[in-house]
Structures are given as structure tokens and as C-alpha cells.
Amino acid sequence: MSTLHLDMISGIAGDMMLGALVQLGFSLDRLRQALDAMGLAEVGVRVEPAAPSGISALRFSVDAPGEESAERSWADIRRLLSSADLPSGARERAEAMFARLAEAEARVHGTTPERIHFHEVGAADSIADIVGCALALDVLGPEIISASTPVVGRGTVQSRHGVLPLPAPATLELLRGVRFRQLEVEGELTTPTGATILATQVQRFTDAPELRVQKIGYGAGTRALSDRPNLLRLLWGADGDASEEELLLEANIDDMNPQAFEHLMDRLYAEGALEVWLQPVIMKKSRPGVVLSLLCPAARAAALETAIFTESTTIGLRRRAVERTRLARRQFVVRTPFGEVRVKAAEHLGHTVRLTPEFEDCRRLATEKGVALLEVIEAARAAARSFSKGAT
């Protein structure tokens, strides 16, 4: 199973994350295309070599003229994302990150997400950070994203709202329920954008990841730190068949509007659930009901329980540890007569046992080219079989 581990020796920020993802193999051309479709063609993105403490890294930066004082509402951000040239998975990641950030800002300011106006995070450089990270994670396709214990700095930071204590209030809201460590370092180490990535994309927190490292990416920050290199290190690894201990959360619900279940499931996936499903049951007094079940890493259980109690009518739930075995998986892109299609390959004992073209890619190409969906799927499968044979 492919795993991406975030080793946060000096915290995390959006630009550090993206620099490290580019070093792992993500192409910034994909981000440039997305920004152009969003009407942000004047925004330039680039990476340049950096070497904190002599370690070869990439520093990501954005040139966004006229964006210094930009602010956008959550509705503005949604409109930009809807116009972006993004795969559905990348769009969902980006929307989840901005939604979580809007919720955190709303709690801090005592208002609602719809009334929030993003200041620093609404500027084009932060939009590029979040959209770029969402796109890179979707393209690279890790099955599991883990992270070390987040670290935060001390002191204050200047913002549009004035001087704020560190960690910044929005950062603290985003890290609610996550164990973090405050270092004797003056200045911001984990930014709101970085905390948003942790809150929405990370399934488990561990300082001792178990994986065979295959690739390493380093993203450099802009500030020089006196006692450590200002780096975010990404470790990419894969195991064979993986047996993982997870939690199964369940709740019986018989008094909830069925229309609300779709929103509940979306919220649970955004909170880090691995799988969510509903089962119809007959409860006491022959009332029809639903059993809500989900699988999650233990590190996300607290946040998911909060979401269940907030978004549903249940007043109790069950939890138990479970183990599941998953085949190792990888993702690659194949060319067909209709266009490019992402394919997921499942492997067992070093052999490919299943090739699955990405349905949304096939559906989009079928619509664009005016051909049958099954024709595109079969072309993608044929190309995937040829690719897989050539790779072995």
C-alpha cells in the first residue's frame, strides 16, 4: 500500500508542502493549467533549488501581482474551484480544505462559514498552495497519508486582523483534537494552510512510520531557523499486503431526515473516514432505521465522533478495533485514442491482479469525444494491460 508520510521537523506550510511534492515528481504545469482555467493566468508559480543545512530541497513561490490585499469569500472560492480544470478527486480535496478552513475561521470570529472573507488565504498565492497540494496528492495517489506530531512556535504573528498569538487562532482550531508540540522557537512554524492540510488529508499521526522508503522530497521554508533546517520532509513508501488496525464506528438512527444522510457522509469523508456505509434495519417497535457504519484510523476517531454527534440525531455510538488486509496499489496514467486516463493497479505478492481505469476520466472523455463510455473503458483497460506488461 502506497504511503506518504509528512515528517514535520520544522512545521508545515502550503509552500513547503508543494515544494516537497514537486521533488517527489509532481509537475507544476498541471497547476498552471488549473490556475489559468480559474481566471488566474497572471499568477506565476515556480520552484527554485534551496539547501537548508546543506540538504537539497525545492522552494515553491508564487508571483501574484495585485493580489497583496485580495480577499475572497467562501462563495468566491467555490466559484473559482468549479471553473478549475481539476480531476474530481483534486476538486474534492481542495473544497474540503477550504471548507475546513472556513469553519475554523468562523469559530474564531463568531460567525458562519458563508460570512467569512478569507484574507491571507484568499490571496492567489494561498489559493495556488491549496489547489496545488490537492492536485499533487490526487495525481500521486497515496493510499495512506500519515504525519509526525505537528510542531508550533511561540510568540506572535502579524496578520490583517492585527497581532495574533502563536499558534494562530485558526491554526489552533484546525488542530483541535490533534496532539501537537510547542517548540522553543520564535515565529510561526505551522501555518493555517499547513494545519488545513493536516486536518483534511492526514489519516494517522505517528512519529514512527513503518514503511519501505522509495522516494524522499524536501520542501524549504522561507525563514532561516537557528536550531534546525526549515524543511518539510515527505517520505514515499510502499508495503506489500498491509494489515492495519483501525476502528469501526457505528450508530443506530431512526429519527433523522433521510435527505441529511448525504451531507453526513460527505462530512465524514472530509473528516478522514476511510469507508462509510448505511444499512437499513428494523428497530424496536418495528420502526425502520439505519445503521451508520464507518472505518477510520484511530487518530481520526475523535473528530469523526464529533461530526456524527453534530450532523446526525444519534445520542450514542459503538466503537471497536478491527483489522483489514488491503492489497498494495499504485496509480499511473495511460494514453488512449480518446485521451489520458488514470488507472489504479492492485498487486499481490509482486504481481498485478487487477487494473481499474478511473471512471470519472472515462466518463469525461466519452462525453467530450461523443463515444460510448464502455468503448473508452475498454481502450483504457487495453492500454493499462500493455503498460503493466511493459513495466514488469
In this predicted structure, the answer to whether residue 240 has a pLDDT above a threshold of 60 is no
Give residue 392's pLDDT band: very low, low, confident or very high (50, 70, 90). Answer: very low
At 390 the pLDDT is 59
At 115 the pLDDT is 84
At 209 the pLDDT is 84
Cell numbers that stand for 150 in this block:
505537528
Give residue 245's pLDDT band: very low, low, confident or very high (50, 70, 90). Answer: low
- Domain borders along the chain are 2-238, 242-326, 328-391
195-237 per-position pLDDT tens digit: 999 999 998 898 878 888 989 999 999 999 988 999 999 999 8
CATH class of this structure's domain 328-391: alpha beta
Q: Quick one: which of 302, 248, 244, 243 has its CA closest to 276?
A: 248
In this predicted structure, the answer to whether residue 352 has a pLDDT above a threshold of 60 is yes
- pLDDT above 70 covers a percentage of the chain that reads 94
41 φ/ψ sector (left φ>0, alpha ψ -120 to 50, else beta)? alpha
68-107 per-position pLDDT tens digit: 556 788 888 888 898 887 888 899 999 999 999 999 989 9
In this predicted structure, the answer to whether residue 272 has a pLDDT above a threshold of 70 is yes
**How would you class 125 by CB atoms within 10 Å of its CB: exposed for 0-12, middle for 13-18, buried for 19 or more?**
buried
Query: What mean pLDDT do residues 350-366 have?
Result: 90
Yes or no: say if 166 and 157 are a contact pair by the CB < 8 Å rule.
yes
Cell numbers that stand for 352 in this block:
498485478
In this predicted structure, the answer to whether residue 67 has a pLDDT above a threshold of 70 is no
Yes or no: say if 222 and 290 are a contact pair by the CB < 8 Å rule.
no
Per-residue HEC secondary structure of 242-289 comes to EEEEEEEEEEEECCCCCCHHHHHHHHHHHCCCCEEEEEEEECHHHCEE
Q: CA 350 from chain center: how many Å?
A: 28
242-326 folds as Alpha-Beta Plaits (3.30.70)
- The H or E element that residue 34 is part of is helix 28-37
Give residue 23's pLDDT band: very low, low, confident or very high (50, 70, 90). Answer: very high
Give residue 162's pLDDT band: very low, low, confident or very high (50, 70, 90). Answer: confident
In this predicted structure, the answer to whether residue 158 has a pLDDT above a threshold of 90 is no
Count of CA atoms in the C-beta half-sphere (13 A) of 3? 25
